[in-house]
Structure 1
């Protein structure tokens, strides 16, 4: 029996202690394959890299950026491409107020002198020397109209003979920016009872109002250009000592004012 057991032990194959090499070899092979795959994935496509590099560079160097002066994200724009800073606007000199007023005054004076010449020529051509008088006064161009030419005695209704003269004046006044004063004057004789007016104050005021209404209602001139007054017999140009003098004091004066300020 002992002999058989010994023979069995001898007939069994010897135990292999190097089997781990197989596993180790397989592991090494797998690692090699893994690194080969990594290597193949890590290879760079040079052409694609160049395209990507140029695209990024252009984007970073664009001037339409939130940064001031548009120098791009990297600030790599050339100086010639950078927008020039806006030039500081030069302060416009304001015209001298004194000179401006002086120029306006000169222009106004030229208009007044032209008005004077036109009225003088009109009076001469129409033989109105005894009915219309014009003069250059410190206040302005004064046009004096006789009451015999404008109204009947003691009345304030305009005569038809006065309409052409007032129409000529209206054509000149509408071109001016000056204020125009209309003043009514009478002599010192009392108004007869039973008439339209109680006294010379009412008569002088009514006559100046009739002239104003012609300019405003008939000639359609801006009413803001006018001012009127009635002075009765308080401002005579000659003493009321004769019929001739009283006739001179009964008048309507139209003055184109100089508007001196």
Structure 2
């Protein structure tokens, strides 16, 4: 006859596996919590990394078109056979810098363009209107030397430098460049490339001529 009597020791032995199972579950939960804490993403750091990657990609995407544009603009200038002392092509941190000698392309103390500059602006507009360069901004800056000007139209070098930059912008618009890509600024004599005077204070005509300029800055928007 079978023994159906309850044995408390046997019951405890049968429940041992439950304790082992519970321990295993606890360990697994602890392990996953540890993994989760280690993989926590800092939103600030993530944004910085993401922003850095975006900037690197952006630089890579604009570097080649910028170099191509510089090559094309250089070809335009060579085709016009302009002397190096009248126009120069360089670059800065933002992009290309095209500088025109104000004394060559403008009447003295005036913002009236000489005919010699018109073909250059026309050809340059054709290049800048290419779909490849539609994402580039064009900023025109006017600069003077420190010789005072005082006429009814231009009471100071501020008005003169601004007017020269503006007439170049208006010429670009006439040749079809989208006005939203353009900006005009006048700096008078506040940003000279070289000193207008020697150490004794005497004017340096050659340096003053260098400082009289209109610069066209072309850079990605």
**TM-score of Structure 1 vs Structure 2, range by shorter chain:** 0.5 to 0.7
- TM-score for the superposition, normalised by structure 2: 0.68
Q: CA deviation at 1:221?
A: 1.1
In structure 1, stretches of 5+ residues that fail to align are 1-95
Quick one: distance in 2 between partners of 1:245 and 1:98? 42
Quick one: distance in 1 between partners of 2:148 and 2:207? 16
- Once the two structures are superposed, residues 13-66 of structure 1 have per-residue CA deviations (whole angstroms, 9 ceiling, x without a partner) of xxxxxxxxxxxxxxxxxxxxxxxxxxxxxxxxxxxxxxxxxxxxxxxxxxxxxx
Q: Does residue 130 of structure 2 align to residue 180 of structure 1?
A: no
Q: Does residue 200 of structure 2 align to residue 231 of structure 1?
A: no
Q: CA deviation at 1:104?
A: 4.2
Q: CA deviation at 1:206?
A: 0.4
Q: Report the secondary structure of 2:89's partner residue.
A: strand
Q: Show the counterpart of 1:110.
A: 64
Q: Report the secondary structure of 1:138's partner residue.
A: coil
Q: Show the counterpart of 2:156.
A: 199
Q: Show the counterpart of 1:12.
A: none
Of structures 1 and 2, the larger Rg is shown by: 1
Q: Is the 8 A contact 2:73 2:127 kept in 1?
A: no
**Alpha carbons of structure 1 residues 127 and 215: separation in structure 2 relative to 1, 3 Å:** closer
Quick one: distance in 2 between partners of 1:127 and 1:163? 12
Give the counterpart of 2:74 among 120, 130, 137: 120
Q: Show the counterpart of 2:104.
A: 149
- Once the two structures are superposed, residues 62-88 of structure 1 have per-residue CA deviations (whole angstroms, 9 ceiling, x without a partner) of xxxxxxxxxxxxxxxxxxxxxxxxxxx
Give the counterpart of 2:205 among 220, 243, 247: 243
- TM-score for the superposition, normalised by structure 1: 0.58
Q: Is the 8 A contact 1:123 1:129 kept in 2?
A: no
Quick one: distance in 2 between partners of 1:207 and 1:196? 12
In structure 2, stretches of 5+ residues that fail to align are 1-49, 198-203
What is the number of equivalent residue pairs in this alignment? Answer: 162
Q: CA deviation at 1:99?
A: 5.8
Q: Show the counterpart of 1:252.
A: 214
Q: Is the 8 A contact 1:170 1:219 kept in 2?
A: yes
Q: CA deviation at 1:257?
A: 1.8
